[in-house]
Structures are given as structure tokens and as C-alpha cells.
């Protein structure tokens, strides 16, 4: 009997030594959810001393985001199934949010009855910091990209934001014009003031005028009291004028005055108001063509076009598709509390081959739709919209029916992509494609690929 007790005590001491030596936090609870043991790493991660933790309700000690709605240990005790590496955060004794991963197990007594549970948690702060640093290289605000074209935009964004100049953003629908405008605002000194977005194409002209500049009481029937316009609401901040190419000539004149003189007059007003706002405008239209047609004022165009940023469509930066998919999957997992692991390989191929007339917004909608149908595991073909799975790969290439024509088109597409990703440095592009530079030059000529004046060898000084 004594021998049994001694060996049991020795085992316990051995287990305690192991628990004390590991870097993962471990605590155990009894059937009343009170802490019965708390190892050294748990003390270090939570900032709570063992003697303060023992005997206390576990949620008051652990303070994890999952305690209230989705306690991992409660789930394990209820179902008998352990949980491995569930993500959460805890609030430590200093009020810091610490990202952790949690694993659980059931504790049983000598008779096999459940006597409590054990929870192991790992501090992921360092992993999270590294992940953020890595993501930060490809992300500005909500814009995510690793393409060369977007990289160039990301690089100049801090300088654009630091200035107070008017910005004109050009890009097809769904390329993220408003996200870029928000990123500019959030990086600027005006970030603590309002960001007001107005879709100029969504409102009739007369309504848009009163929305932008506001009106005074009695300006028209129904104007019972003064109403401040968006320029007044954005005081000190940024006004984002989306679809600027859609506004009428009359409103263009008023807007020109705001940009030139920084003043405007509300409808029915008698005095000028000062507009302390930065204007960021955007359009999907070709404003130069609009000017030629006489639909857009040239002087307003030049006032808006102080700094121009062109967002490339998604079909011209397909290397971003996997990164964007990962970004959207993580975001929807977080928002909807799901555990979707990503997309299956054939789904990735389909998504890479699609043309995206709706750009990034279209891709986001495809993933959001898949989340409705898929709760866990990987997104499969069945979760994609039929128009995507029904059609064959719609790469923009095929022009002509013959195999030769299609091969040429595919070659041209690959060469263009390689040139763009290498900043039009032919030698690097040739290396990337596994071709000799002479072969590349020959193919560029034969396929009629147009090249910009710049050749990517910008480091060479002009002689």
C-alpha cells in the first residue's frame, strides 16, 4: 500500500515537473469550473500568480474571448471530444489582447468518472506579429496585393496621403477605388476627421447639389430647416466623390469653384462657406474621351487630376487572386465564426482562369456565396456559382479557332504577365519564362506585343 502511494506521488511529482518546464500554459479545473492547477507558463502568459488563480472561477482567470459564447473546455466535457488548437484571444492582467491557440482534454478520476478538465494554451503573439509584418508588405488599409503594379501604388501612397492635393482615382468597377480613397484618408493627417463618400452617379443632379452643399431653411418648398451638406459634414476631413464622370455640366462648374477657391454657397444661402476638406474623386470612365465629347469640363479635369492613381483590373494582376482568396476566407471565417480552410485545387484553377469583369468585388462575392453553402473544410466546385463552373476557362487569350492561334495567344499572355511582374525588364522576364533573351525579343516582335518606352533598366543612368 505504502509502496503504491509512494510510486503514485513520484508520478505526480514527475508530471508536475514536466508541466512546469513547458512553454505552453496549462491549467486544470474541477467540476465546478474552479482552477485546481496553474503552471508557470500560464502565470507568465496571463500575468496572474498561481496563488491568485487557484480556487477561482476559470473564466475570471483565463478571460478568453471564447469563455462566454464558445468555451472549448465546456464543449469537450459535454461531447467527450478534445479540441485541438482553437484560436482565441485572452485579455491579460495589463489589458493586452494576447492571441492564443487552445487545446482541451477531460480529466477522469480512478473510477473513470469525469472529475474536471485540462486546458493547454499557446501564446501566439510572436507568430501573429510576424504574420502581420508579412501581410503588411502586401496590404495597405483593406487593399491587398503583391502585384508589381499595385506595389508601385502602395509605395507612393504615404507621400500622396501626406500631401493635401486632390487625387483622381481611375479604375474599373470593383477595383477598390473607395478602399484606396479610405486608405489615403487613414494615412493622412485628416484621419481623425470624417471620411464622407458620395456616389455622384446614384443621385439626380438637383438632389446631388443639395447633398453636397446643403441648403438653408426656405430655399425650396419642404426645406423646413437648414441642412448641412457633405462638404460641411466632412469639415477637416476627406470628401470622396465617386463616379465624378457622371455629374452634369452645371454641377461641374460649382465643383470647380470649390476646388479653386475652397468656398461654396449652400442652396438659398447668402454667404460663402469655407470648405476645409480634401477631395478625392474617382471614376470608371475615360475622362479624356468625355472631354473630347464635351461632356466633361477640361478645367475641372485638370483641377482633379493633380495626383492620378490608376487601379489595374484584376485580370491584369492575376497573381493577386490566391492572396485575395486567402484574405476573404480569413475575413468571412472571422465574421461568420466558420472554419473554412481555403479552396480546393481545382477551384483555384477555375478562379485563376476567370476574367472578373466585376474585379475584386466579384471575387469577394464568389467567396461570400461559397461561405453560404460551405461551413467547414475546403470550398469545392459545388460551392461556386454555375456560371463559373459551367464555362470553360475564359482566359482572354483565344483569338481564332486554330491550335496555333490559341498557342500564340497563350504565349503572348504569359510574356505580358512576366514583363509586367518584372517591371518590363526584358532580361528578368526572359529568366522568369525560362527563355533566352534573344528568343524573348523574337517572340515579342512576332506576337506584336507592345512595350512601354521604359525598359525596366531604370538603374542605368542616361548618358
Choice between 48 and 239, CB closer to other proteins: 48
* Burial label, 396 (beta-carbon count in 10 A; 0-12, 13-18, 19+): exposed
Handedness of CA 242, 299, 190, 261 (dihedral sign): negative
Nearest CA-CA partner of 102 in 49, 26, 178? 26
Is residue 52 near other proteins by the rule CB under 8 A? yes
Q: Give the shortest CB-67-to-other proteins separation in angstroms.
A: 5
The interface with other proteins within residues 320-379 (CB under 8 A) comprises 335
Is residue 65 near other proteins by the rule CB under 8 A? yes
* Alpha carbon distance 68, 29 (integer Å): 16
Is residue 68 near other proteins by the rule CB under 8 A? yes
Query: Residue 437: CB partners within 8 Å, gap ≥ 6?
Result: 426, 427, 430
Per CB under 8 A, the segment of 17-25, 57-65, 319-327, 386-394 that binds other proteins is 57-65
* SS3 of residue 129 by DSSP: helix
* Alpha carbon distance 355, 315 (integer Å): 6
Per CB under 8 A, the segment of 7-15, 91-99, 267-275, 340-348 that binds other proteins is 91-99
Among 29, 41, 45, 53, binds other proteins (CB under 8 A): 53
Is residue 136 near other proteins by the rule CB under 8 A? no
Site size for other proteins, by CB under 8 A?
A: 25
Residue by residue, what is the 3-state secondary structure of 65-90?
CCCCCCCHHHHHHHHCCCCCCEEEEE
Q: Give the shortest CB-247-to-other proteins separation in angstroms.
A: 32
The interface with other proteins within residues 94-123 (CB under 8 A) comprises 94-97
Other beta carbons within 10 angstroms of residue 148's beta carbon come to 16
> What are the distances in angstroms from CA 299 to CA 205, 257, 288, 410?
20, 11, 12, 43
Is residue 57 near other proteins by the rule CB under 8 A? yes
Choice between 66 and 200, CB closer to other proteins: 66
Q: Give the shortest CB-327-to-other proteins separation in angstroms.
A: 17
Per CB under 8 A, the segment of 11-19, 42-50, 228-236, 442-450 that binds other proteins is 42-50
Is residue 191 near other proteins by the rule CB under 8 A? no
Per CB under 8 A, the segment of 92-100, 211-219, 299-307, 341-349 that binds other proteins is 92-100
Query: Crossing angle, helix 148-162 and helix 177-187, to 10 degrees?
Result: 40
Q: Give the shortest CB-376-to-other proteins separation in angstroms.
A: 20
Per CB under 8 A, the segment of 93-101, 252-260, 380-388, 447-455 that binds other proteins is 93-101
- Exposure letters 435-463 (e unless 16+ CB within 10 A, then b): beeeebeebbeeeeeeeeeeebeeeeeee
Choice between 89 and 154, CB closer to other proteins: 89
Query: C-alpha cell of 458?
Result: 531604370
Pair 231, 263: CB distance under 8 Å = no
Q: Which residues are near other proteins by CB under 8 A?
A: 46-49, 52-53, 56-57, 59-65, 67-69, 91, 93-97, 335
Amino acid at each position: 500500500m505504502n509502496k503504491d502511494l509512494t510510486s503514485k506521488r513520484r508520478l505526480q511529482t514527475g508530471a508536475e515537473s514536466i508541466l512546469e518546464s513547458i512553454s505552453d500554459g496549462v491549467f486544470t479545473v474541477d467540476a465546478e469550473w474552479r482552477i485546481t492547477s496553474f503552471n508557470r507558463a500560464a502565470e507568465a502568459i496571463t500575468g496572474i500568480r498561481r496563488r491568485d488563480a487557484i480556487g477561482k472561477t476559470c473564466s475570471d482567470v483565463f478571460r478568453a474571448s471564447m469563455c462566454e459564447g464558445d468555451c472549448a473546455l465546456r464543449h469537450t466535457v459535454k461531447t467527450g471530444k478534445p479540441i485541438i488548437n482553437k484560436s482565441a484571444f485572452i485579455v491579460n492582467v495589463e489589458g493586452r489582447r494576447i492571441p492564443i491557440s487552445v487545446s482541451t482534454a477531460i480529466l477522469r478520476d480512478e473510477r473513470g468518472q469525469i472529475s474536471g478538465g485540462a486546458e493547454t494554451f499557446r501564446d501566439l503573439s510572436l507568430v501573429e506579429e510576424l504574420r502581420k509584418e508579412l501581410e503588411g508588405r502586401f496590404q495597405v488599409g483593406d487593399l491587398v496585393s503583391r502585384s508589381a503594379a499595385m506595389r508601385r501604388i502602395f509605395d507612393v501612397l504615404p507621400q500622396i496621403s501626406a500631401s493635401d492635393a486632390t487625387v483622381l482615382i481611375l479604375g474599373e468597377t470593383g477595383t477598390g477605388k473607395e478602399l484606396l480613397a479610405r486608405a489615403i484618408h487613414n494615412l493622412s493627417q485628416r484621419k481623425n476627421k470624417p471620411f464622407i463618400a458620395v456616389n455622384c452617379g446614384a443621385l439626380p443632379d438637383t438632389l446631388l447639389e443639395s447633398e453636397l452643399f446643403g441648403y438653408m431653411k426656405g430655399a425650396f418648398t419642404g426645406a423646413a430647416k437648414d441642412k448641412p451638406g457633405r462638404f460641411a459634414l466632412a469639415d477637416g476631413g476627406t470628401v470622396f466623390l465617386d463616379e465624378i464622370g457622371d455629374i452634369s455640366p452645371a454641377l461641374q462648374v460649382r465643383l470647380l469653384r470649390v476646388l479653386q477657391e475652397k468656398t461654396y454657397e449652400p442652396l438659398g444661402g447668402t454667404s460663402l462657406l469655407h470648405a476645409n476638406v480634401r477631395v478625392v474623386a474617382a471614376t470608371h470612365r475615360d475622362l479624356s474621351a468625355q472631354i473630347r465629347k464635351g461632356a466633361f469640363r477640361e478645367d475641372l479635369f485638370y483641377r482633379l487630376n493633380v495626383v492620378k492613381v490608376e487601379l489595374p483590373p484584376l485580370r491584369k494582376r492575376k497573381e493577386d487572386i490566391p492572396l485575395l482568396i486567402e484574405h476573404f476566407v480569413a475575413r468571412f471565417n472571422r465574421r461568420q465564426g466558420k472554419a473554412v480552410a481555403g479552396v480546393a485545387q481545382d477551384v483555384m484553377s477555375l478562379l485563376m482562369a476567370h476574367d472578373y469583369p466585376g474585379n475584386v468585388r466579384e471575387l469577394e462575392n464568389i467567396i461570400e456565396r461559397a461561405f453560404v453553402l460551405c461551413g467547414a473544410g475546403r470550398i469545392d466546385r459545388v460551392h461556386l456559382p454555375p456560371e463559373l463552373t459551367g464555362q470553360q476557362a475564359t482566359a482572354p487569350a483565344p483569338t481564332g479557332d486554330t491550335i496555333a492561334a490559341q498557342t500564340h495567344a497563350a504565349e503572348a499572355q504569359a510574356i505580358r504577365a512576366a514583363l509586367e511582374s518584372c517591371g518590363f525588364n526584358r532580361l528578368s522576364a526572359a529568366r522568369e519564362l525560362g527563355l533566352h533573351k534573344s528568343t524573348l525579343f523574337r517572340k515579342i516582335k512576332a506576337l506584336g506585343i507592345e512595350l512601354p518606352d521604359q525598359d525596366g533598366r531604370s538603374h542605368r543612368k542616361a548618358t
